[in-house]
Structure 1
């Protein structure tokens, strides 16, 4: 009988590696383990105990709790049972060199009526009872392609009570189930934790007892939100709870931490618990953005926070963004990537510092839930946005009740002896002038009123700092206008006075001269822009009699859906100033004619010179392009922040006229499956023309030559494997009866039509994202037109497109 561990032993030099030598040893027969392995590339080794050995697969992207997600699992050599406890570092140069973490462990069993022998048939249906992986799973062997020697399987979760998010396990389970260490701590040889981690729901990673030495980052201006009147739609937005607390930037370095207010004041002494917890985070240095809150009856409460400041009473920092980490400035990374890095350093299960969770899409439902629970509202952020460092439309706030900061300008005396005052008089900077907005007499405790009265008495002045109706302020005591109060109210009257105001608390973190009137703006849209659309009646789609004004209205309605994909990215515009029936042309360089809302960035060209390339940042920019006769928006495969590192790969399936759309759809699904075998998640988009785009999001990592090479080799391999169906060269003559896999869009400077862009084609179709499961029921690539803005917005917020176009992945080896 052949030794099942012969390959295992032959690959290893046990005088150099700490891995156990392979000897057969009878076991209980039903254990399983998963080891996170950072070798040539990060993967998860999935192992099942069968016949005295650990049958093993390398899962390139790790296990997923999403039943719709199939993960490539490459069969590797059998391992000895003693390997089930191995954790450490395999020396460089040895087989599998890199760090190994014991990531999960438990028992497994075939489902009723099945057995381990089903592995021989290539289809194993089994149940896991691990510390992290639970419930029913499938391992299915794939048919080999050509002379392929690698044995490829797919690992998939079966729908049951243990299913979950696509990357929940790999994103949240970052420590060893045996020792509680991170990968970095294992690599450094750190001692094992005293309390091992037991699973993602109860996991707690103890912070380092002393932060490693590093330079503490300096304070930076924080990102600020724009107040809008409704939650933006679409999966390009992340939505977080709007916490009722103090905004704070936490600087960590040199084994210490400091707490800064939004204006740069050092308030470290006021929050000793936050400082201590931050100093113990597993980083050399970091700059974290978040909100400090205190709870009362399970809800964030600003008054409770005020009472807790400077004491040892419990407070929590909800960390929601990361500006720098271990000396690296990460503000240019997309928000989703910054948050994932942040998640990796915030201890799970901690109370003092917590990760601010978010939802993607479904913002309106979250808003309704939070408002029903009496919370403050929602903060919505563009998923792909850089850290703005200023107030912008990339960060929006939507409030359940109107709450705002106002300046205290005076007070009215009370007729009750023990009451410090009857009401406070308020003002706000409106149009450059401090303006009276009314008085507030509710929301005070006796203790808070006494505290306020002392502050007011030290600020007394004889003259009024605002103009106010004499009858309203008779008997007023005026004060120096430098105290800021947060006030809740229902609305403002036509003459600008607050209706039903209630005092929330003092805002010592905000200077009075920065307190300006907040007026809710519409959620991102271009329709109400100050950019006039000239000749809105001009027909630009003659066959459907749709006008320039109709196109402007469409772009205004779908701007929240378009901007996550087109903003901050070099674009080429298809301009048809007299309509699509007349001359149209591409424009990518800025000639200075678009106005202030369309921007330019200098980009080096092949000849060594530079040219100004167009890009937009907001809905105003989109509208300005429409005003200039643009119909189509085509974007680079990279953003201006990481210009030389593409963030997507696109395969445009361009069929010969004789090829049916059903054939195109089947081809798209085939490419999706082939990419999945390589560990890549892809998404489908109707081009609005004849074909389908297969879109592969990427973490900006590889340079353009690597992406182009990968795309070319992938496309040519497909064409070679099925030459009657595919062609990978652009020559029209070679395309007859076939589908051209256009990989050329993955070159530096090449562009592809952006999601939700209109097309300069008959019927005014648009490029529209679709889910793979609905593609089969669609009969044309021009399914939606600019008349369908409302339906497209509804679809974008629905379950079918949740998470469309978002994946954190890099190019695999090919």
Structure 2
């Protein structure tokens, strides 16, 4: 650790100096690190520190490939779980994700002696990397890293095809755009991590097993909160394409698992929910008021501007347990306010809603969405699309909370009309659906206090439980894209593979340019 400390100014750098943390003795981590050059850091826990190598092209499961691995100074154990940014100008300045992690088993009784001799055999038991690896020294600091041909070997396996963090489900770009934590090198290592915004963890396997083992009703303990669950085998969604129907139990599990990526769009915002206690085959109803029987741990908020006959107290979801409770309440659709509760008069999102008519094909919706992409590029504004899970597409634009709803709506209307005027044969500005002649409406009127659009990753009341999913702009050109492509059973795989495209929008505070 002496070399590590000598190379860092702990009054300035965001990395920890190393403390008295005790590890398990067998952890490994690979961090994807974009500093002056992108590389992967392989770290093996041994004798109270992390033995470390920088691997420029990353580890691979391909046994035909030899990777250069440069031995660097040992790192402190506290660094094993670090994901965030290191300030520019500091040693290692850039962004870091936990690309893979797990445990390792040395192939020799004395790994220190094996390293000294120049060859270390070891097994990795990670989420991405598995099997028999070897490090072979080829110079003072230069080593070769290779994977032996075993049952875990995969020809042509490229780490760049698996860019998502196993800790957060985010990419380096998303972490750089919206870091959740920073390190204070001037603090002891056990207090070096400073949270920049909330983060949430999914349920454990044991917690999910407990949910699965409950009968028709029971009490589920999720992350310390006790949730009374009822009618768990009630069918809420019929199956789609021959699949089994979806029960309340499955919706509860989905809400708990998707919470880490869904809650950033709900926390600190009042919620309007669309409830279907009898399932989506029966009419649902909108619900805003926090019920009197809500548990004490469920966060609520009293709207100070409410009239006497308006809803006074709203639910503010802020935990996986809150989302699970809402699912048990048959709140299938979750619609957060556009403004946070600490400044309700100033929205932090400007919303574009492409609402298709009866004659509008999905190709027409895509044409309109691509025109919005061109408009955003022309204006120099960062925003991204999401499919609604039904027929349409929305574009969400993060804005500085300095504009009134009226100013935000006026700006969105100007952009919408510029888009609509480009293809007038696709768009109607009539208010009522009956007057639109089956054409699409670009609905800028959603930008009003307490008026809402469906949250990212919320299910929709349709067979199969399709989900509203954020996209990258280039996905609009995917020939397989449909507005209801992902369901609550499949969207988890997408998030694990691609992360959350909206994550980089969360901490943006944009001014609205003239139109």
TM-score, length of structure 1 as denominator length: 0.38
Pair 1:524 & 2:202 matched: yes
Pairs within 5 Å for 1:319-330: none
Matched, 1:628 2:329: yes
Aligned residue in 1 for 2:399: 698
From 781, 797, 802, the counterpart of 2:499: 797
- 1:644 matched to 2:345: yes
Displacement of 1:808 after TM fit? 3.5
Higher normalized contact order (CA 8 Å, seq sep 6+, divided by chain length): 2
Show the counterpart of 1:783: 485
Contact 2:460 2:468 in 1 (8 A): yes
* DSSP-derived class of the 2:459 partner: coil
Bigger fraction of residues in helix? 2
CA distance in 2, matches of 1:621, 1:750: 22
Greater fraction of residues in strand:
1
> Match for 1:568 among 268, 271, 277?
268
Match of residue 443 from structure 1: none
Say if 2:286 is the partner of 1:594: no
SS at match of 1:297: helix
Residue number among 250, 254, 264 corresponding to 1:550 in the alignment: 250
Please report how far the alpha carbon of residue 737 of structure 1 lies from its aligned counterpart in structure 2 after TM superposition: 3.8
Partner of 2:232: 536
Q: Check 1:367–1:553 CA distance in 2 against 1; reply closer, same or farther (3 A cut).
A: farther
Q: How does 1:122-201 map to 2 (within 5 A)?
A: none
**1:103-502 matched pairs, under 5 angstroms:** 296-299=2-5, 315-318=10-13, 373=52, 374-375=75-76, 376=78, 377-379=80-82
Distance 1:691 1:508 in 2: 51
Q: Deviations over 1:325-351 (max 9, x none)?
A: xxxxxxxxxxxxxxxxxxxxxxxxxxx
Do residues 713 (structure 1) and 414 (structure 2) align?
A: yes
Q: CA 1:734–1:372 in 2, change beyond 3 Å: closer, same or farther?
A: farther
* 1:597–1:616 contact (8 Å) kept in structure 2: no
**Alpha-carbon deviations, 1:308-337, whole Å to 9, x = none?**
xxxxxx6424469xxxxxxxxxxxxxxxxx
Structure 1's 705 and 723: CA in aligned 2 closer, same or farther, altered over 3 A? same
- Per-residue deviation at 1:691? 0.5
Relative to structure 1, the CA distance from residue 686 to residue 399 in structure 2 (aligned partners, 3 Å threshold; closer, same or farther) is closer
Give, in angstroms, the shift of residue 756 of structure 1.
0.6
Cα separation, partners in 2 of 1:577 and 1:368, compared to 1, 3 Å? farther
Cα distance between partner residues in 1 of 2:337 and 2:258: 20
CA contact (8 A) 2:200 2:319 kept: no
How far apart, CA to CA, are the structure 2 residues paired with 1:699 and 1:372? 44
Which structure: larger Rg?
A: 1
Alpha carbons of structure 1 residues 758 and 508: separation in structure 2 relative to 1, 3 Å: closer
- Tell me the alpha carbon deviations over residues 363-411 of structure 1, each in whole angstroms, 9 at most, x when there is no partner: xx88979966343233568xxxxxxxxxxxxxx9x9999xxxxxxxxxx
Q: Which residue of structure 1 aligns with residue 450 of structure 2? A: 749
Deviations 1:536-575 (A, max 9, x none): 2111112441111111121222111101112221111111
**Are the aligned partners of 2:271 and 2:335 in contact in 1 as well (CA < 8 Å)?**
yes
Aligned residue runs from structure 1 range 19-30, under 5 A = none
- In the alignment, the residues of structure 2 paired with residue 399 and residue 698 of structure 1 have an alpha-carbon distance, to the nearest angstrom, of 36
Check the 8 A contact 1:726/1:740 in 2, yes or no.
yes
What secondary structure is seen at the aligned counterpart in 1 of 2:303?
Answer: strand
Q: 1:675 and 2:373 equivalent?
A: no
What is the DSSP-based 3-state SS (H/G/I as helix, E as strand, rest coil) of the residue aligned with 1:803? helix
CA contact (8 A) 1:730 1:742 kept: no
1:614 is displaced (CA, Å) by: 1.6
Per-residue deviation, residues 440-478 of structure 1 (Å, max 9, x unmatched): xxxxxxxxxxxxxxxxxxxxxxxxxxxxxxxxxxxxxxx
Q: CA deviation at 1:508?
A: 9.6
1-structure distance, mates of 2:459, 2:305: 28
Cα root mean square deviation, aligned: 3.7
Assess, with a 3 A threshold, how the Cα gap between structure 1 residues 626 and 610 changes in structure 2: closer, same or farther: closer
> What secondary structure is seen at the aligned counterpart in 2 of 1:650?
strand
**Is the CA contact 1:594–1:625 (under 8 Å) kept in the aligned structure 2?**
no
Distance in 2 between residues matched to 1:561 and 1:754, nearest whole Å: 11
Aligned with 1:645: secondary structure?
coil
Cα deviations by residue, 1:46-67 (Å, 9 ceiling, x for unpaired): xxxxxxxxxxxxxxxxxxxxxx
Pick from 589, 614, 618: which aligns with 2:319? 618
Task: Judge conservation of contact 1:580–1:760 (CA < 8 Å) in 2.
Answer: yes
CA distance in structure 2 between the aligned counterparts of 1:789 and 1:740, rounded to whole angstroms:
28
- Please state how far the C-alpha of 1:634 moved relative to its aligned partner: 0.6
- In structure 1, list runs of 5 or more residues that go unmatched: 1-294, 306-313, 321-357, 360-364, 382-395, 402-506, 511-520
Q: What's 1:44 paired with?
A: none
DSSP-derived class of the 2:315 partner: strand
Question: What corresponds to 1:209 in structure 2?
Answer: none
Alignment CA distance shift 1:620-1:741 (3 Å) = same
Are 1:688 and 2:384 matched, yes or no?
no
TM superposition score normalised by structure 2: 0.58
- CA separation in 1, counterparts of 2:372 and 2:481? 19
Query: Structure 1 residues 366, 739: closer, same or farther in 2, change over 3 A?
Result: farther
For the residues of structure 1 that align with 2:200 and 2:426, how far apart are their CA atoms? Answer: 49
Distance (whole Å) between structure 1 residues aligned to residue 324 and residue 311 of structure 2: 27
Check conservation: 2:267, 2:316, Cα contact below 8 A. Answer: yes
Go from structure 1 to structure 2 and tell me whether the alpha carbon gap of 1:728 and 1:679 turns closer, same or farther (over 3 Å shift): farther
Asked whether the equivalents of residues 654 and 741 of structure 1 are also in contact (C-alpha less than 8 Å), the reply is yes
Q: 1:706 to 1:548 in 2, by over 3 A?
A: same
**CA 1:379–1:600: 2 relative to 1, 3 Å:** farther
